[in-house]
């Protein structure tokens, strides 16, 4: 076993130890020498001018220099040259200044005889001696630890990314589920509407028939009777048209699709409400995309959708009590679809209202004012031609409905 030459100073010290204890002292020193040499961390002692005085076995493994190649050399043999060696980020090359102050230095880079770069942690103790200070330095190789740290960071980033992807997929799945639930409700509503329409139509036609018959039977009716008869017939006709309208939303209705100008449908809807808007101080700001083509749809049903959106906007603005407001309508072409953005600065919706707005019969309006069917029927019309309608809204911040309609639903898979 090779034991480094004992330091001179230690030798002098030994000389003063008296007679019989010398042997014991030698024994103890050689034991320390073995400990020093066999330590698993690389240890060196460095004189004040940076000269390596001692190095242990582990130094050879770390630096691939032999001990006797290190002893007597300046510490700079282990300092990498940033011009030649690649110094990893957030680390610095070993320098002799390090050995002047006690402390633990992390992320120090040394270079071995074989040119390999090692990342080390250096612990320095400065030992004061009458004949000059020296430093005892312990090197711990952290190259592998650092590599694993970096790998961990990469893996962590990958995991985060995967997590975000998962969240996204989850949200998509939820949206899809919502759509399915909504579609289910619409189908149920369709059945119900078709049933009611059918059941009511028969008796209504009966009432109309009897009323007409009465008109012919009563000769010389008073003007009151005459106007009441007319009132009955016109009310029956009104009910009939409502039933007809409900029927258009059921699967049993006959669809009449044609190439339709969405802008005309919007304009027609707005025309119907123009007087109400004017009296309520509601301004409409339209901006129609020039590249928006005609789409394959039922013009009357589209008009109905926009009437529903416009009425809701009217009500929402009126509820603010400000005595006025704005509706903005934007259209544009987007791939196989056209988009209509219907925005108002009305009261907006709470989260709860937003979640239920498209449900059949859901309304926040007082009895007689809202049936809670506008949005669900609109949803039905739009879904039937493979379009979509979504809302963005916050309480007090207005609402924006985005309607996406395929240019031709027959071409959508």
Ligand X SMILES: Nc1ncnc2c1ncn2[C@@H]1O[C@H](COP(=O)(O)OP(=O)(O)O)[C@@H](O)[C@H]1O
d(CA 229, CA 208): 10
- Closest approach of Cβ 286 to ligand X, in Å? 17
Give the total of residues touching ligand X (CB under 6 A).
Answer: 23
Using the rule CB under 5 A, is 346 a contact of Mg ion? no
Phi-psi region of 90 (alpha: psi -120 to 50; beta: other; left: phi over 0): left
Q: Which is nearer to ligand X, 120 or 349 (CB)?
A: 349
Q: Which is nearer to ligand X, 348 or 387 (CB)?
A: 348
- Closest approach of Cβ 309 to Mg ion, in Å? 8
d(CA 60, CA 70): 9
- Closest approach of Cβ 360 to ligand X, in Å? 8
Q: Which is nearer to ligand X, 32 or 361 (CB)?
A: 361
- Closest approach of Cβ 411 to ligand X, in Å? 30
In the numeric block, which tokens belong to residue 6?
């004992």
Question: Residue 363 binds which entry of ligand X, Mg ion, none, with Cβ cut-offs from 5 to 8 Å by kind?
Answer: ligand X
Looking up tokens 């409900």 gives: 246
Using the rule CB under 5 A, is 80 a contact of Mg ion? no
d(CA 181, CA 187): 10
Applying CB under 5 A, the span of 69-77, 187-195, 238-246, 370-378 interacting with Mg ion comes to: 370-378
- Stated as kind and residue range, the H or E segment containing 116 is none
- Closest approach of Cβ 370 to ligand X, in Å? 3
Between CA 27 and CA 35, with CA 30 as vertex, the angle to 5 degrees is: 125
Instruction: List strand residue ranges (DSSP E) for 237-367, in order.
Output: 258-260, 282-287, 295-297, 325-334, 337-344
Residue 372 DSSP code: S
Applying CB under 6 A, the span of 41-49, 251-259, 295-303, 361-369 interacting with ligand X comes to: 361-369
Using the rule CB under 6 A, is 341 a contact of ligand X? no
Q: Which of 347, 385, 403, 405 is in the footprint of ligand X by CB under 6 A?
A: 347
Q: Which is nearer to ligand X, 80 or 346 (CB)?
A: 346
Between CA 354 and CA 365, with CA 273 as vertex, the angle to 5 degrees is: 35
Q: Which of 201, 353, 383, 388 is in the footprint of ligand X by CB under 6 A?
A: 353
- Closest approach of Cβ 394 to ligand X, in Å? 10
- Closest approach of Cβ 188 to ligand X, in Å? 16
Q: Which is nearer to ligand X, 145 or 352 (CB)?
A: 352
CA distances from 354 to 174, 179, 268, 394 (A): 15, 14, 27, 9
Using the rule CB under 6 A, is 48 a contact of ligand X? no
Q: Is 330 helix (H, G, I), strand (E, B) or coil?
A: strand
Picking from 20, 34, 120, the residue whose alpha carbon sits closest to that of residue 78 is: 120
Q: Which of 344, 384, 389, 405 is in the footprint of ligand X by CB under 6 A?
A: 344
Question: Residue 221 binds which entry of ligand X, Mg ion, none, with Cβ cut-offs from 5 to 8 Å by kind?
Answer: none
Using the rule CB under 6 A, is 98 a contact of ligand X? no
d(CA 272, CA 279): 13
CA distances from 54 to 33, 46, 59, 111 (A): 11, 7, 10, 18
- Closest approach of Cβ 254 to ligand X, in Å? 25
Q: Which of 312, 343, 359, 376 is in the footprint of Mg ion by CB under 5 A?
A: 312
Q: Which of residues 291-320 bind ligand X (CB under 6 A)?
A: 308, 312-313, 316
Using the rule CB under 6 A, is 326 a contact of ligand X? no
Q: In sequence order, which residues have a C-beta less than 8 Å from that of residue 150 and are 6 or more positions away?
A: none
The contact mask relative to Mg ion for 374-413 (x = CB under 5 A, - = no) is x---------------------------------------
In the numeric block, which tokens belong to residue 258?
């044609």
- Closest approach of Cβ 253 to ligand X, in Å? 20
CA distances from 141 to 42, 43, 61, 92, 121 (A): 9, 12, 10, 14, 7
Q: Which residues here bind ligand X, judged by CB under 6 A?
A: 308, 312-313, 316, 344, 346-349, 353, 357, 362-365, 370-376, 399
Q: Which residues here bind Mg ion, judged by CB under 5 A?
A: 312, 374
């Amino acid at each position: 076993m090779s034991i480094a030459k004992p330091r001179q100073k230690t030798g002098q010290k030994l000389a003063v130890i008296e007679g019989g204890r010398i042997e014991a002292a030698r024994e103890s020193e050689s034991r320390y020498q073995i400990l020093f040499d066999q330590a698993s961390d690389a240890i060196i002692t460095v004189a004040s001018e940076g000269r390596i005085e001692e190095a242990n076995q582990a130094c050879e493994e770390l630096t691939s220099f032999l001990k006797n190649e290190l002893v007597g050399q300046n510490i700079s043999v282990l300092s990498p040259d940033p011009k030649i060696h690649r110094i990893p980020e957030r680390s610095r090359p070993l320098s002799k200044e390090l050995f002047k102050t006690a402390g633990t230095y992390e992320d120090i880079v040394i270079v071995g005889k074989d040119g390999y770069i090692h990342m080390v942690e250096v612990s320095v103790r400065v030992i004061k001696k009458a004949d000059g200070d020296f430093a005892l330095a312990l090197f711990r190789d952290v190259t592998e630890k650092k590599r694993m740290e970096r790998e961990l960071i990469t893996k962590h980033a990958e995991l985060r990314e995967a997590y975000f992807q998962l969240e996204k997929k989850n949200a998509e799945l939820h949206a899809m589920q919502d759509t399915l639930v909504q579609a289910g409700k619409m189908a149920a509503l369709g059945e119900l509407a078709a049933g009611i329409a059918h059941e009511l139509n028969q008796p209504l036609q009966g009432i109309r028939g009897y009323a007409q018959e009465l008109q012919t039977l009563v000769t010389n009716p008073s003007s009151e009777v005459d106007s009441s008869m007319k009132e009955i017939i016109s009310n029956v006709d009104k009910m009939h048209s409502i039933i007809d309208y409900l029927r258009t939303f059921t699967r049993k209705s006959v669809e009449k699709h044609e190439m339709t100008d969405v802008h005309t449908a919007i304009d027609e809807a707005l025309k119907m409400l123009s007087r109400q808007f004017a009296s309520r101080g509601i301004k409409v700001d339209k901006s129609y995309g020039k590249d928006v083509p005609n789409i394959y749809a039922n013009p009357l049903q589209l008009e109905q959708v926009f009437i529903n959106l416009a009425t809701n906007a009217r009500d929402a603005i009126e509820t603010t009590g400000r005595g006025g407001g704005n509706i903005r309508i934007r259209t544009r072409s987007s791939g196989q679809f056209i988009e209509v953005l219907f925005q108002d600065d009305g009261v907006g919706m709470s989260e709860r209202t937003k979640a239920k707005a498209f449900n059949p019969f859901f309304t926040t309006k007082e009895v007689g004012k809202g049936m809670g069917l506008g949005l669900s029927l609109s949803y039905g019309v739009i879904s039937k031609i493979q379009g979509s309608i979504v809302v963005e809204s916050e309480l007090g911040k207005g609402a924006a409905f985005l309607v996406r309609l395929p240019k031709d639903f027959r071409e959508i898979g």
